[in-house]
Amino acid sequence: MKRNLATYFALFSLVFVAISCGSSDENEYELSPYAMLKSFSLGNIRSAYPSFTSTGEDTLVLKTVQMTAFPFTINQVTGEVYNNDSLPYATDITRVVAKFVVNGVASIYVDSLDSYEHLLTTDSVDFTSPRKLRIYSEDAEYYKDYIVRINVHQVEPELMVWSKFPAVEGLVPVRAVEANGAMFLFGKDSNGVATVASTALEGVPAWENAPVSGLPADADLSTIQLFNGVLYAVAGGNVYASADGIVWTLSASDTGAVAIVGASEEDGKLWIAGSQGLLWSEDGAAFAVSEALPENFPLYGVSLASYPLNHNKNIIRYMLVGYTTESKDGEPAVWSKLSTEAMWTNYKNEENKYECPALEGLSVVRYDDYLYAVGGAGTVNGQEVAPLNSFYISKDNGITWKISTGFYQRLPEELIGDDAPFAVAVDSNNFMWIINSGTEGGAWKGIINRLGFEKR
C-alpha cells in the first residue's frame, strides 16, 4: 500500500520502542522499503489480585507478573500478535508499556481500530481490547497492520468449581468408578440388595439403576475396581468380573481374596490380598503369589491408585490406603510399591506429624497429580473434625497429608458437615465426582478451572 512520503515523514520520531533497520555510512543513508514487526513484548506488570484469607474473607494481594514467562507469537501471514499462555486472572492491562522491534517505523491505534495516536517510549496503553499496530517502511511507501491481543484468564485457574445434579434415587452409595466411558455407582437399595447405577460422563447425569446379579450377598462393593476394561470384585475368597457392572461371573476361585489392592493397565497387573498373601494376575483369572501378606497391610475400606512416575513413565507407582481391621478402627495404613520393586512398603512413621487422616468412610483419589483424601467425622492430629470438612492433600505420594486451607480446592459448601454415605471418583475428563445420599443428596461434579482449559 503506497502512501505520500511527505505525509508520513514525521513518523520516524514518533514510535514506541522501535528499532529501525537499514544501512548507513558517513556519506549516505538508504531508506528501507520493508515494513515488518520483528518482535513484541511487554514490560513487567504489577497488579492487585483477588485472593482470600485463611478464614475465607476477600482480600487483594499485590504481585508482579514477570512478562518474560509470557512470550508473544507474531503471525506474519494473518498479522495477529498474541500470547499463547494467558496472563493470570485479574491482571490489570489498562496501563501497559509495550516493546517491539521493527523493520520500519511503528505507530499504534489506542482509541479504536479506526484512529491512531503516536506514543512516546514511556507511554502506556490500555490493552483491554485489541489494538492495531501499523508499521511503515522507512521510505513511507508501504505499511503493514498488526492486531495485538493480550490474553488474560477470565476465571481463576486454580479455583475448583462445582456443579450439583439430582441425586441417585433408591441407592445408598458405596463405590464409584469410571468404566468404558460411563460413571458407575455401586451401593445398596432400601432392601439391602446390591444395585448399580450408571450414567454418561458428559452432560447432566441421567442415572439408570439395575439390580446386580451373580455377586454373592457378602460381596464387598467397596473393592470394585476397573482393570483392562473389566470390573472386578471379591467375595468369599473368590474374584468376580463384569463387563457392564450388572451381570457378574466367577473369574478366579479359592484365591483367599479379601480386597483388590492394585490395578494398572500400564503395568498389566491386577493385585489382590487375602489369606494366601499378595497375588497378582495379568488377566484377572490366573493369579500368582507374590509374597506373604505383610503385617499391618490394609484390607478394609481400601482406596487405591496407580500412575507412572513423572521422571520415568515406564515405572508405575501403586498407592494403597485403608484399614487393617474390618471395623476400620485406628489410623489408616498407607502402603506403596513401584512396578520395579518386589515388595510393598509401609509408610508408617511415628515422627510424621501429617499422617493420613483417620476419617469414617475414608476415600482417596488421585487428582491433578496429587492424592486427595476426604471422609466423614474423625480425628486429624488428635483433633476431632466434622464430616466432609475439607480435602486432605498429599503432594509427596502419600507420605504427608495436609488440610487444604485455601479457598481454591474446597468441597461444595452444601456438603460440608453432611454425615451421609458418599462415594468419590475422578473421571478421564478431569472431573471429581462426589455422590451422596444425605439431606443435600446429589451428584456433584467439580473441576479445577485450569484442568478444563483448552490448549491453543
SS3 451: helix
Contacts 24+ apart (CB under 8 A), 153-157: 153/86, 153/87, 153/88, 153/89, 154/89, 155/89, 155/449, 156/50, 156/89, 156/90, 156/408, 156/449, 157/88, 157/89, 157/448, 157/449, 157/450, 157/453
For residue 322, give the C-alpha cell. 485403608
Q: Each residue of 297-317: pLDDT tens digit?
A: 999 999 999 999 999 999 999
Does domain 5-149 fall into CATH 2.60.40.2340?
yes
Q: How confident is the model at residue 2 (pLDDT cuts 50, 70, 90)?
A: very low
Q: What is the pLDDT of residue 173?
A: 93
Domain positions in the chain: 5-149, 160-452
Residue 115 binned pLDDT confidence (cut-offs 50, 70, 90): low
DSSP 88: P
* Predicted confidence (pLDDT) per residue in 207-239, tens digit: 999 999 999 998 989 989 999 999 999 999 999
Q: State yes or no: pLDDT of 22 exceeds 50.
A: no
Q: Please, which residues have CB within 8 angstroms of residue 401's CB and are 6 or more apart in sequence? A: 354, 355, 356, 357, 371, 373, 392, 393, 394
Average pLDDT estimate for 447-451: 93
The domain defined by 160-452 carries CATH number 3.40.50.720: no
Helix, strand, coil abundance in the chain, percent, nearest 5: 5, 45, 50
Q: Write down the pLDDT at residue 142.
A: 85
Amino acid, res. 123? D
The CA distances from residue 14 to 97, 265, 309, 415, in Å, are 15, 63, 55, 60
Q: Is 127 helix (H, G, I), strand (E, B) or coil?
A: coil
Q: Residue 83 — very low, low, confident or very high, per pLDDT cuts 50/70/90?
A: very high
**pLDDT of 93:** 92
Q: What is the mean pLDDT of the chain?
A: 86
Other Cβ atoms closer than 10 A to 59: 10
DSSP element (H, E) containing 7 = helix 5-8
Radius of gyration of the chain measured on its C-alpha atoms: 30
Place of cell 522499503: 33
pLDDT, average across residues 376-388: 89
- Tell how many helices (H) and how many strands (E) occur in the chain: 2, 37
Render pLDDT for 321-369 as a digit per residue (tens, 0 to 9).
999 988 787 889 999 999 999 899 999 988 899 999 999 999 999 999 9
Task: Report the range of poorest mean pLDDT among 105-119, 386-400, 416-430.
Answer: 105-119
- What is the pLDDT averaged over residues 180-189? 95
Query: 372 has which bridge partners?
Result: 365, 393
Closest among 373, 370, 342, 347 to 360, alpha carbons compared = 373
**pTM of the entire predicted model:** 0.78
Q: Which pLDDT belongs to residue 121?
A: 58
- The strand pair at 36-42 and 98-103 is best described as antiparallel
| Pairing between β-strand 143-149 and β-strand 80-83 as defined by DSSP bridges | parallel
pLDDT at 19: 41
Among 52-66, 136-150, 370-384, the range scoring the smallest mean pLDDT is 52-66
What are the residues whose beta carbons fall under 8 Å from the beta carbon of 20, sequence distance 6 or more? Answer: 12, 32, 102, 103, 104, 105, 138
Look at residue 107 and tell me whether its pLDDT is greater than 90.
Answer: no
pLDDT of residue 388: 92
Strand partners for 230: 227
Average pLDDT, stretch 85-101? 88
